[in-house]
Every structure is written in structure tokens, then in C-alpha cells.
């Protein structure tokens, strides 16, 4: 057995716990998860049935942890999990799953299939079967601090631009600030308007906030690729920075898995609770709305819809805030079919977007979202995840649909009273 | 005589057009009284308590619908359950809010006059009335086993369903067949749903309220929902309203914590029974029975079977009566195990324990032997 | 193999079994108080829908304590409104005419809904007062 396969199987041993045992024991093979998965519905390929993607882990568990399975292996009735099998499953586990969590919602016996995919990725990554692009991204995240290779000077340059355009200060390393803002590399490079929007909203609300020069990146490649050790290193950076600056709240940006990583997985990874609160930017804005410190004027007359980021609605339960916020500025807001907790994924989450070998498949998966959007006849789509936004933009362009995709925070900032915008520090 | 009756029916019509709120006001019930009534209704219907104002608004304008109640192969226990609720209660107020135009047991009229009242109500409110049914319907030998005024139950139900806005099956017999359907089922008894599926009667929106008998508050709660929202409540696959049948008795049982801790009564007179531990091993059907007994309770909220020391017998589930002894624990084998199988079980348990010990060892080994997965480890070799 | 043979690592601190229901309820009250402070929105918890044993119910009563205000209403049977030791948290019990509890609520509000007088009633009161005044002026006697 190769050293890498041995590492992979050892990782399987580590992730098999009571929940995995009960999930595999209770599966009734009904196949309902197939219809919940957009990779199955959009391709019709039965190999994309979520429970099937878990086959190697299920066989390993059966052979090593059940009496019948042990006897069967002893008698030579089953074959061991080997490199060939893992190689074959790489595509199923990484390319055709966005960890969107929809299958977990429909399982009639309550199996959290998504959590099991997350677990099987631990073994796959340790055995060397993670996609190359994700390995490279993880390398950049650990060594440089950003999966896209964005360094502090690049952020500082963007911040300087924003300061010049808006006349507002972008604070770095301010000790004792109430909020610490995290960003995703995509926001720094592709959507710098987000930073300006937050700065202006904070100014109006009269809240103190800061960026950290030691931990500004919110994304966590360790979660996507399935290596808890890397995920822990990345979470620890944020926790250390937040503790050093003694902030009350850390704000996760418009990015789905970053929120899951820092909000839900983080404390389990580092093995202790945080001394600060973690909120998604939309949760913060909703609090501002309720406190009456988010005052907006004017409204959008165009027909808008909202694409729910999966991690926000299904893992985080953040369903009402974006709607409450949108209604402040949108006269003509329409809901998409299956919106809220049963929304359909854009097709690029969970590392799929960063994985070049999944490029074709993710566009096929996008067909679902395309149909959903076109039947609404909207003028624009609003979302709150930079990753969804890129996929939506690429997908709409490829399908020749001329439709702008807007970030919710930026849309709100556009409706701040004008005088605030003109202010110069 | 004739003119008197006309006057009487005229009065009934005008009373029906009065709204529920007006009627309650006429009975001297204040705004606070109405708010209290709506709060109690929301609580009973398992709606969020913040819904009380919405209920008040809806009931304020709802008029009293006509209700026809047909009884077939039944024991009158369902009616008893309803009328023995502690009067006057919220339940009785709801009964003020409907016009009960036909009910064997409760109506004053008898003989041909009673049947005529049913026919008149069916004609006047065709397409609008609620049809309540208790008792199962004999389907064998063309339904000859039970007739009322010379009409078979099957035929009376068929006529009643035709003009009904919705059908509510009250009790386990009309919902699932119940006791009359128990093996060998000599009359070929069937539930309302069976007959709809078979095409013997027309399909109409159907709500099942099983239970032997059902909890009175559940019957009135469903009617209140219909009055309030003009629609039938959300149902599960067996047509039961989710607000009352959404959880198992077990999930809502106050003894649940003992189950989770593994503390069971083994006999009805041991220490565990005295201490009020879980009755699972004594055959309690709580884990497989969907009903509200554990929260709404019986006799005006006094108690329910488990609270008085007996397991749930699952009276509101399909197949009740043919589902084996009430005193065998749910997952135990139904036939007595022979010595050979016992020996087999013994070997199996030992092997299982050994296997489990190995599992523990393997897993713990993996956890303690954890070597950090570093970037370089992500390559094969 | 049984599931109990797999070691489970508890990753959160949890209260003892008997108290879990109570802690959940206290959390809910705290959440509703926060909501009241933020948005003036009253909150209500239906106690009959929470599976509390009689002992847990007593424990909850003791924990919440007795406040300064209590009120008794006579309206379709009795109703009792009692402030707990926590300002803004009210224990409301509605009985029917036979003294059976028909609803039991925890209301999180500056003052419980059922105690408020509403606008319609204020108008009615004014009308009746005017009638009294007219009666006195015209008839000369107070009844």
C-alpha cells in the first residue's frame, strides 16, 4: 500500500464517528437525494446521486466497523478500497458536489449527506486525490494568506483607491473597534465596491470598525478541499487577529463557505468557543435596520430577484434578513421558485468554482439557475456571495442573457443619502 | 304548525348570517373576552401565539357554516368525547360558531323529520357544507350490514360527499377502519379514504382526525381552522393535520429524558414504574404514534395515559387492533425465541461486542496516531 | 455493533438532562427580550406547547420569581397576569368558567396585550360619560 493511500485510510478512520455509523446504518436506499442534487437533475447521470458519491467511505466503514462486513472481507467476498477506486471517485466527490446541503434537507431518515461528503474529502485529500487547483489554492492560502494570492499591499492599494473615491478612512489594525471586517480575495480583486459600501454604511451607522493587516482573508480552502489541519490554521489566524484587536464582532463577508468556516466549523476546529461574535454582513445590516441606523432613500423600480447563497440559508438560517433589506429599496422584488432554505445552488460552491477540471460540469449544473431566472423575467439578480456572483455572471454571459448581477450590500449603499457620499474626511 | 316551522327555519338562516364576533358580542362577551378566546384557540390549534390577532380578525367576519355529521359503524365514543369536554369551554364556543344541521345523537328531531333536515341542509348548502363522519363503512355484500332509515351507510355517505366542501373523518374507524375492520373484518369495513381511493365515493378534500376517541380539542381545533382561514389545515401523507399529528407522543413525552438516559420500568410494579421512568419496555407505542395527547392531554388537560402509568396503545395509528399485543416492547421479536435462536443471539452478541471493542481500538488508534496533514501530503506517493 | 460503542465527543457544554427544557425556554425569553428592545415587537411563548413536567414548570416559576405587579381579570372566567422578577416578562394564565386552564403564556412586553385599553373603547367611554353628564344636567340626580 502506498504511503499516501495509507494516510487516506487513516483519515477515514478518524472521521468515522457515531454520526457516520448511524447515517450509513439508517440509509434506506430510497434515492430521494438524487432529485435534490442539481448535478443529477441537470445531467440525468445516476452516478451523481449524493449517497453514491460516498461509496468508498461506506464500503470502508462496512468492512472495518461492521461484523458482517468484517466476515465478508475475511472470506474475501469484498475488495478493499484502493487507489484506483479513489481516483475514479475524485470527480464525484469534488467536481459534482458544491456542499450545498440540499440533499441533507430531503433525506427521510435525516442523514446529513453533506457533512459526510465533507468527511470523505478528508480521506481523499490525505490520499492525494484532491483536484490540483484546490491543492494550489490551499498552498497559496497557507503561504501567502489568500487562495488567489492577494497580498497585503494589494489590499492596501485597493483601500487607498476607496479612500480617494469616497473620502472615507479605511481603518487598519484599530484596537478596540466594535467590528472586524473580513474580505474574500474575490471582493478585493473583482468587487472593491463592497469595501466602499461597508465603509459608507458604517459611517452612517456611527459604528467603529477595522480591517486586520494580519488576517483579512475570510475564505478557507481547508474546508473546501477537506483538510481540517489546514482549515484550523486559517481559522486560527482570524481568531488570533480578532483577539489581539479585542473586537466584539467579526463580520464574515458576502461569501458562503467563508461564513460556514468561521461561524460554524471554526470553534470546533480550534477546540474552544470564541470570545467574540461572528455575524454575516447581512446579519449586521439587519441589526442596523432594526436599530434604525440604516437609513436609505429612493428605490429601484426594476424587477429584481434574490439568489440565496446555500451556506447562508441552509447552514446559517439567514433567510429573512436579505428580504427585509431588499424591500427597503426594491419596489418590484419577486421570489424565485424554491427560494429560501430549499433554494438551488448556483453550481460553483464548495470549491467547484476554483476547480478548472469541473468547468464544463458547473456550467451544465447552472442550467437549473438559468431556467429559474429566465422564467421570472427579471431585470437584475441580487445575491450576497462573491462566488455565486461570479458563477451567475459567467453563466448568464455564456447563455447570452444580458442581465446584471448585483451584490446586496453594494445595492443598499447606493441608496444612502447623497450628502454622505459627498463628505470628505 | 307549518308556518311555525317556516319561521323557525327563517330564524336559523338569519342567525347563520350573523358573524361569529357578532354572535359572541350578543352573548355579552367583551373585547378582552374575545381576545382571550382567540389566544386559547391559537394555543389549541398549535399556532404561534402571535397569531391571535389574525384569528380575531378572521373570526370577526366569518359566518357560521352548515355541518352535517354522519355516524356509521361506530360506538358513539367520538361524540361522547366531544360532548364530555368540560362545558362551557372554548370548544363549546366553537360549536356556537357552526350550524350543526344533522347529528343522530344530538339532534332533537327523529324519524322522517330528522332525515328531511339532512336532505334540506344538503340541498340548501350544496357545495358549501362540511361533512363530518364517524364510524367505518361496511363495503361487503353491497353494504347491507348497516342501514339508517332504509338507506345503506355506503349510499348515505355517497350522497353526503357529493355536495360537501370538505370531509372530516372523526375517529380511527372513519380514518383508518378501526375496530370494525379488525381481522376477520366480517362486514368488509373500510375507511372514508379507502372508499375515495377505490372510486366508490367521490373525492373531496379529506381531513382524518384519528384516535379512539380523538381529543375533543383536536376536533374543534380543525373546525376552528376551517372557520378562521376558510381552508383545510396542512396535512401529512395520511391526511392528518400536522399541527396536531406532527410529532410522536414519544417526542413530546415528559418521560422522554428517561428514555434518553436508558431508565426504564421493567414491570408495572417495580421501582422504575414508581419513579415514573420510561414505559418503552412495557410496550408503549409512543415512539410510533403521532398525536397530541402528551401536550393537550385529556379531561380538560388533567392527564394522559403515560402520566397515569400506562403506555400509549397507539389508538390513532392505522392497523390499530391488529398490530399485536399492547404489552410487547416495540422492537422485540413477536414470536417467542427458541433455544437455538437464543444461543445464536448469544454468539452474535459476543462476536458483536468483540467487534465493537476492535472498532474502538482502531478508531482511537487513528485519533491518537493523527499526523498533521501538511501541504506536501496532498500529493500522491 | 451498537452505536453506544462508538465514543462520542461532546463539543458543547450542556446542562443536566432535567434542565435542558428550562434552559431552552430561558434562551427563548432572552431572545424575545432582545427583540423587544431592538424593535418594540412583543413576544409570546405558549407554555402549553412546551413539554414541561409539573416539576419543571414549578422550577421555572421559582426561577422567574415574583415581580411587583399582579392583576386579576374577570372575563369569561378568570385570568391572572403576574409580572415576574424580570421586568417585561409576564406570566399570563387564562381559566375558563370552571377554573380549567385554557391558555398559559409567557408574554414579553412592556404591558400584556389583554390589559391594554384600545382606541374604540376610549370613544365608547367618552360617549357614556357624556350621557351621564347629560343625565345629571337634565334629571338632576346621580344614579
Domain boundaries, given as residue ranges, for chain B: 16-244, 247-340
Percent of all residues in chain C with a pLDDT value above 90, rounded to a whole number: 33
The complex's ipTM works out to: 0.72
What are the two backbone dihedrals, phi and then psi, of residue A31, each rounded to the nearest 5 degrees? 80, 10
Residue of chain C minimizing CA distance to B353: C1
Chain C CB contacts of A17 under 8 Å are 6, 8-9
User: How far apart are alpha carbons B28 and B22 in whole angstroms?
Assistant: 10
Q: Was domain A3-129 assigned CATH 1.10.3470?
A: no
- Reading the block at residue A260, the C-alpha cell is 460556514
Widest Cα–Cα separation across chain B = 103
Tell me if C17 and B43 make a contact (CB, 8 A cut-off).
Answer: no
In C22-41, the residues whose Cβ lies within 8 Å of chain B are none
Question: Tell me, what's the pLDDT at B364?
Answer: 72
Rounded to a whole number of angstroms, the distance from the CA of B367 to the nearest CA of chain A is 6
Chains in contact with A, counting 3 or more C-beta pairs less than 8 Å apart as contact: B, C
User: How far apart are alpha carbons A310 and A10 in whole angstroms?
Assistant: 31
Best A18, A228, A292 residue to mutate vs chain C (most C CBs within 10 Å): A18
B13: pLDDT strictly greater than 90: no
Residue B199 sits at the chain A interface (C-beta within 8 Å): no
Rounded to a whole number of angstroms, the distance from the CA of A139 to the nearest CA of chain B is 6
Tell me if C7 and B360 make a contact (CB, 8 A cut-off).
Answer: yes
DSSP-derived secondary structure for A196-242: HHHHHHHHHHT--EEB-SS--B---HHHHHT-HHHHHHHHHHHHHHH
Q: Average pLDDT of chain B? A: 81
Name the residue facing A70 among B355, B363, B377 (closest C-beta).
Answer: B355
Rounded to a whole number of angstroms, the distance from the CA of A67 to the nearest CA of chain C is 7
B311: pLDDT strictly greater than 90: yes
Tell me if B373 and A230 make a contact (CB, 8 A cut-off).
Answer: yes
Higher pLDDT pick, C58 / B5: C58
Best A12, A66, A67, A94 residue to mutate vs chain B (most B CBs within 10 Å): A67
Chains in contact with C, counting 3 or more C-beta pairs less than 8 Å apart as contact: A, B
Q: What's the whole-number mean pLDDT along residues B237-263?
A: 90
Q: What is the pLDDT of residues A305-336, one digit of tens each?
A: 999 999 999 999 999 999 999 999 999 999 99
3-state secondary structure of A160: helix
User: How far apart are alpha carbons B201 and B363 in whole angstroms?
Assistant: 60
Name the residue facing C1 among A17, A67, A291 (closest C-beta).
Answer: A67
Tell me if C100 and B88 make a contact (CB, 8 A cut-off).
Answer: no
Tell me if C76 and B46 make a contact (CB, 8 A cut-off).
Answer: no
Tell me if B89 and C100 make a contact (CB, 8 A cut-off).
Answer: yes
User: How far apart are alpha carbons B205 and A400 in whole angstroms?
Assistant: 46
Domain ranges for chain C: 16-112
Residues of B with CB under 8 A from a CB of C: 29-33, 35-37, 39-40, 42-44, 46, 48-50, 86, 88-90, 252-254, 256-257, 260-261, 294-296, 300-301, 352-353, 355-357, 359-360, 363-364
CB neighbour list of residue B141: distance below 8 Å, 6 or more residues apart: B188
Name the residue facing B373 among A17, A67, A125 (closest C-beta).
Answer: A125
Tell me if A291 and C11 make a contact (CB, 8 A cut-off).
Answer: no
Closest by Cα among B14, B40, B169 to B92: B40
Name the residue facing C11 among A67, A268, A290 (closest C-beta).
Answer: A268
Residue C55 sits at the chain B interface (C-beta within 8 Å): no
Residue A18 sits at the chain B interface (C-beta within 8 Å): no
- C107 CB neighbour count, 10 Å cutoff: 22
Rounded to a whole number of angstroms, the distance from the CA of A20 to the nearest CA of chain C is 10
What is chain B's Cα-based Rg? 27
pLDDT band at residue B85 using 50, 70 and 90 as cut-offs: low
User: How far apart are alpha carbons B39 and B46 in whole angstroms?
Assistant: 11
- Domain B247-340 carries which CATH code? 4.10.480.10
pLDDT band at residue B18 using 50, 70 and 90 as cut-offs: low
Residue A295 sits at the chain B interface (C-beta within 8 Å): no
Rounded to a whole number of angstroms, the distance from the CA of B354 to the nearest CA of chain A is 9
Query: Quick one: CATH architecture of B16-244?
Result: 3-Layer(aba) Sandwich (3.40)
On the CB side of A103, CA atoms within 13 Å amount to 31
Domain ranges for chain A: 3-129, 135-291, 304-413
| Cα end-to-end span (Å), chain A | 65
Q: CATH says C16-112 is which class?
A: alpha beta
Chains in contact with B, counting 3 or more C-beta pairs less than 8 Å apart as contact: A, C
Rounded to a whole number of angstroms, the distance from the CA of B271 to the nearest CA of chain C is 19
Tell me if C38 and A291 make a contact (CB, 8 A cut-off).
Answer: yes
B10: pLDDT strictly greater than 50: no
Fold of A304-413: Rossmann fold (3.40.50)
- Reading the block at residue A382, the C-alpha cell is 441580487
Question: Tell me, what's the pLDDT at C24?
Answer: 81
Q: Are C92 and C44 in contact (CB under 8 A)?
A: no
Q: Average pLDDT of chain C? A: 82
Buried b / exposed e over A209-245, threshold 16 CB at 10 Å, is bbbbeebbbbbbbbbbbbbbbbbbbbbebbbebbeeb
B87: pLDDT strictly greater than 70: no
Tell me if A229 and B373 make a contact (CB, 8 A cut-off).
Answer: yes
Rounded to a whole number of angstroms, the distance from the CA of B369 to the nearest CA of chain A is 9
Q: What's the whole-number mean pLDDT along residues B8-36?
A: 62
Closest by Cα among B132, B106, B16 to B65: B16
B333: pLDDT strictly greater than 50: no
Q: What is the pLDDT of residues B152-186, one digit of tens each?
A: 999 999 999 999 999 999 999 999 999 999 999 99
Question: Tell me, what's the pLDDT at B25?
Answer: 67
Strands of the sheet containing B164-170, edge to edge, are B99-103, B66-71, B129-134, B164-170, B206-209
Name the residue facing A67 among B351, B380, B381 (closest C-beta).
Answer: B351
CB neighbour list of residue A100: distance below 8 Å, 6 or more residues apart: A38, A114, A310, A314, A345, A349, A350
Chain A CB contacts of C31 under 8 Å are none
Buried b / exposed e over B304-339, threshold 16 CB at 10 Å, is bbbbeebbbbbbbbbebbeeeeeeeebeeeeeeeee
B330: pLDDT strictly greater than 90: no
What are the two backbone dihedrals, phi and then psi, of residue B254, each rounded to the nearest 5 degrees? -70, -15
Chains B and C form CB pairs within 8 A to the count of 97
Chain A CB contacts of C6 under 8 Å are 17-18, 21
Residue of chain C minimizing CA distance to A22: C3
Rounded to a whole number of angstroms, the distance from the CA of C61 to the nearest CA of chain A is 31
CA distances from B7 to A308, B2, B3, B12 (A): 62, 9, 6, 9
B11: pLDDT strictly greater than 50: no
User: How far apart are alpha carbons B206 and B160 in whole angstroms?
Assistant: 13
Q: What's the whole-number mean pLDDT along residues C117-130?
A: 81
Peptide bond into B184 cis (omega under 30): yes
Question: Tell me, what's the pLDDT at B12?
Answer: 41
Closest by Cα among C95, C103, C21, C10 to C58: C21
User: How far apart are alpha carbons A386 and A407 in whole angstroms?
Assistant: 8
Name the residue facing B40 among C45, C56, C94 (closest C-beta).
Answer: C94
Name the residue facing B49 among C44, C96, C97 (closest C-beta).
Answer: C44
Question: Tell me, what's the pLDDT at B373?
Answer: 83
Residue of chain A minimizing CA distance to C40: A290
B335: pLDDT strictly greater than 50: no
Residue C120 sits at the chain B interface (C-beta within 8 Å): yes
Rounded to a whole number of angstroms, the distance from the CA of B258 to the nearest CA of chain C is 9
Q: What's the whole-number mean pLDDT along residues C81-99?
A: 90
Strands A249-252 and A179-181: parallel
CB neighbour list of residue B180: distance below 8 Å, 6 or more residues apart: B73, B135, B136, B138, B173, B187, B189
Q: Are C103 and C42 in contact (CB under 8 A)?
A: no
Asked if B16-244 and B247-340 have one fold, the answer is no
Q: Residues A138-142: contacts with CB within 8 Å, 24+ apart?
A: A138/A221, A138/A222, A138/A225, A138/A227, A138/A230, A138/B375, A138/B378, A139/B375, A141/A217, A141/A219, A141/A220, A141/A221, A141/A222, A141/A230, A141/A234, A142/A230, A142/A233, A142/A234, A142/B375
Question: Tell me, what's the pLDDT at A421?
Answer: 47
Buried b / exposed e over A95-108, threshold 16 CB at 10 Å, is bbbbbbbbbbbbbe
Residue of chain A minimizing CA distance to C10: A268
Residue B376 sits at the chain A interface (C-beta within 8 Å): no
Name the residue facing B36 among C18, C75, C104 (closest C-beta).
Answer: C75
Rounded to a whole number of angstroms, the distance from the CA of B49 to the nearest CA of chain C is 6
Q: Which residues lie across from B136 on neighbouring strands?
A: B73
* Residue carrying the nine cell digits 375492520: B181
Mean pLDDT by 10 residues, chain A (425 residues): 91 92 90 94 95 95 86 81 93 96 93 95 95 94 90 93 92 96 91 93 96 94 94 96 96 94 94 95 96 93 95 94 95 93 94 94 96 94 95 94 94 84 45
User: How far apart are alpha carbons C79 and C55 in whole angstroms?
Assistant: 23
Name the residue facing A290 among C6, C8, C39 (closest C-beta).
Answer: C39
Chains A and C form CB pairs within 8 A to the count of 20
Amino acid at each position: 500500500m502506498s504511503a499516501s493511500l495509507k494516510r487516506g485510510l487513516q483519515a477515514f478512520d478518524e472521521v468515522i464517528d457515531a454520526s457516520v455509523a448511524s447515517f450509513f446504518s439508517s440509509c434506506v436506499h430510497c434515492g430521494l437525494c438524487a432529485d435534490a442534487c442539481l448535478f443529477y437533475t441537470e445531467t440525468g447521470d445516476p452516478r451523481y446521486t449524493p449517497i453514491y458519491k460516498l461509496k468508498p467511505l461506506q464500503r470502508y466503514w462496512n468492512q472495518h466497523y461492521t461484523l458482517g462486513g468484517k466476515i465478508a472481507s475475511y472470506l474475501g467476498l469484498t475488495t478493499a478500497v484502493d487507489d484506483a477506486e479513489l481516483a475514479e471517485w475524485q470527480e464525484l466527490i469534488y467536481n459534482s458536489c458544491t456542499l450545498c446541503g440540499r440533499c441533507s434537507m430531503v433525506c427521510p431518515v435525516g442523514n446529513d449527506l453533506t457533512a459526510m461528503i465533507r468527511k470523505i474529502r478528508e480521506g481523499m485529500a490525505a490520499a492525494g486525490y484532491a483536484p490540483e487547483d484546490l491543492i494550489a489554492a490551499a498552498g497559496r492560502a497557507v503561504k501567502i494568506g489568500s487562495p488567489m494570492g492577494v497580498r497585503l499591499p494589494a489590499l492596501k492599494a485597493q483601500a487607498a483607491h476607496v479612500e480617494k473615491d469616497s473620502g472615507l478612512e479605511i481603518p487598519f489594525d484599530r484596537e478596540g473597534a466594535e467590528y472586524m471586517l473580513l474580505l474574500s480575495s474575490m471582493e478585493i480583486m473583482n468587487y472593491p465596491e463592497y469595501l466602499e459600501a461597508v465603509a459608507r454604511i458604517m459611517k452612517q451607522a456611527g459604528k467603529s470598525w477595522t480591517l486586520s493587516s494580519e488576517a483579512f482573508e475570510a475564505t478557507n480552502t481547508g474546508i473546501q478541499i477537506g483538510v481540517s489541519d489546514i482549515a484550523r490554521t486559517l481559522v486560527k489566524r482570524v481568531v488570533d487577529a480578532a483577539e489581539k484587536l479585542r473586537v466584539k464582532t467579526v463580520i464574515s463577508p458576502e461569501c458562503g463557505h467563508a461564513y460556514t468556516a468561521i461561524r460554524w466549523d471554526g470553534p470546533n476546529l480550534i477546540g474552544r468557543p470564541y470570545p467574540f461574535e461572528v455575524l454575516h454582513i447581512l446579519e449586521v445590516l439587519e441589526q442596523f435596520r432594526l436599530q434604525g441606523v440604516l437609513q436609505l432613500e429612493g428605490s429601484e423600480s426594476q424587477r429584481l430577484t434574490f439568489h440565496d447563497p446555500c451556506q447562508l440559508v441552509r447552514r446559517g438560517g439567514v433567510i429573512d434578513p436579505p428580504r427585509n433589506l431588499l424591500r427597503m429599496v426594491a419596489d418590484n422584488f419577486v421570489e424565485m421558485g424554491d427560494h429560501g432554505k430549499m433554494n438551488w445552488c448556483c453550481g460553483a460552491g464548495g470549491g467547484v468554482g476554483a476547480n478548472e477540471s469541473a468547468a464544463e460540469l458547473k456550467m451544465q449544473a447552472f442550467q437549473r439557475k438559468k431556467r429559474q431566472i429566465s422564467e421570472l423575467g427579471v431585470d437584475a439578480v441580487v445575491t450576497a456571495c462573491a462566488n455565486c456572483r461570479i458563477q451567475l455572471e459567467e453563466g448568464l454571459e455564456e447563455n447570452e442573457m444580458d442581465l446584471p448581477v448585483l451584490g446586496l450590500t453594494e445595492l443598499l449603499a447606493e441608496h444612502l443619502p447623497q450628502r454622505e457620499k459627498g463628505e470628505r474626511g | 304548525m307549518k308556518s311555525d316551522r317556516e319561521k323557525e327555519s327563517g330564524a336559523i338562516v338569519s342567525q347563520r348570517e350573523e358573524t361569529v364576533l357578532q354572535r359572541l358580542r350578543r352573548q355579552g362577551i367583551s373585547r378582552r373576552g374575545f381576545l382571550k378566546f382567540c389566544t386559547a384557540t391559537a394555543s389549541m390549534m398549535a399556532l404561534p401565539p402571535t397569531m391571535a390577532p389574525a384569528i380575531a380578525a378572521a373570526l370577526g367576519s366569518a359566518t357560521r357554516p352548515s355541518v352535517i355529521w354522519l355516524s356509521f359503524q361506530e360506538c358513539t365514543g367520538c361524540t361522547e368525547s366531544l360532548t364530555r369536554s368540560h362545558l362551557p369551554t372554548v370548544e363549546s364556543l366553537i360549536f356556537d360558531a357552526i350550524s350543526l344541521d344533522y347529528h343522530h345523537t344530538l339532534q332533537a328531531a327523529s324519524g322522517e323529520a330528522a332525515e328531511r333536515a339532512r336532505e334540506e341542509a344538503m340541498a340548501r348548502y350544496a357545495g358549501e357544507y362540511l361533512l363530518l363522519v364517524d364510524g367505518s363503512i361496511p363495503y361487503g355484500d353491497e353494504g347491507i350490514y348497516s342501514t339508517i332509515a332504509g338507506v345503506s351507510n355506503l349510499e348515505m355517505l355517497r350522497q353526503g360527499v357529493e355536495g360537501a366542501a370538505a370531509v372530516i373523518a372523526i375517529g380511527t374507524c372513519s380514518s383508518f377502519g378501526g375496530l370494525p375492520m379488525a381481522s376477520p373484518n366480517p362486514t368488509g369495513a373500510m375507511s372514508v379514504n379507502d372508499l375515495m381511493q377505490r372510486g366508490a365515493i367521490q373525492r373531496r378534500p379529506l381531513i382524518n382526525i384519528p384516535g379512539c376517541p380523538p381529543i375533543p380539542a383536536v376536533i374543534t381545533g380543525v373546525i376552528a381552522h376551517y372557520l378562521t382561514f376558510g381552508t383545510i389545515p396542512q396535512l401529512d401523507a395520511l391526511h392528518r393535520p400536522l399541527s396536531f399529528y406532527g410529532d410522536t407522543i414519544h417526542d413530546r413525552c415528559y418521560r422522554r429524558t428517561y428514555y434518553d438516559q436508558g431508565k426504564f420500568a421493567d414491570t408495572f410494579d417495580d421501582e422504575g414504574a414508581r419513579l415514573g421512568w420510561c414505559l418503552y419496555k412495557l410496550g408503549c407505542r409512543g415512539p410510533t404514534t403521532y398525536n397530541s395527547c402528551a401536550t393537550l392531554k385529556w379531561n380538560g388537560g388533567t392527564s394522559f395515559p403515560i402520566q397515569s402509568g400506562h403506555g400509549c396503545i397507539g389508538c390513532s395509528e392505522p392497523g390499530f387492533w391488529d398490530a399485536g399485543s399492547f404489552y410487547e416492547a416495540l422492537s422485540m421479536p413477536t414470536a417467542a425465541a427458541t433455544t437455538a435462536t437464543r444461543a445464536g443471539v448469544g454468539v452474535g452478541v459476543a462476536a458483536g461486542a468483540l467487534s465493537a471493542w476492535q472498532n474502538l481500538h482502531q478508531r482511537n488508534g487513528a485519533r491518537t496516531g493523527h499526523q498533521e496533514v501538511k501541504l506536501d501530503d496532498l500529493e500522491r506517493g | 455493533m451498537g452505536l453506544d460503542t462508538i465514543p462520542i465527543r461532546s463539543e458543547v457544554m450542556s446542562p443536566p438532562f432535567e434542565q435542558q427544557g428550562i434552559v431552552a425556554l430561558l434562551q427563548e425569553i432572552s431572545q424575545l427580550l432582545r427583540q423587544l428592545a431592538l424593535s418594540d415587537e412583543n413576544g409570546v411563548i405558549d407554555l402549553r406547547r412546551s413539554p414541561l413536567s409539573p416539576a419543571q414548570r414549578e422550577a421555572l416559576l421559582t426561577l422567574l420569581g415574583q415581580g411587583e405587579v399582579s392583576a386579576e381579570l374577570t372575563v369569561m372566567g378568570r385570568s391572572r397576569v403576574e409580572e415576574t422578577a424580570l421586568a417585561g416578562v409576564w406570566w399570563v394564565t387564562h381559566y375558563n368558567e370552571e377554573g380549567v386552564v385554557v391558555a398559559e403564556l409567557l408574554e414579553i412586553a412592556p404591558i400584556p396585550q389583554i390589559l391594554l385599553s384600545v382606541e374604540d373603547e376610549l370613544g365608547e367611554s367618552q360617549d357614556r360619560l357624556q350621557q351621564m353628564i347629560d343625565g345629571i344636567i337634565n334629571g338632576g340626580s346621580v344614579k
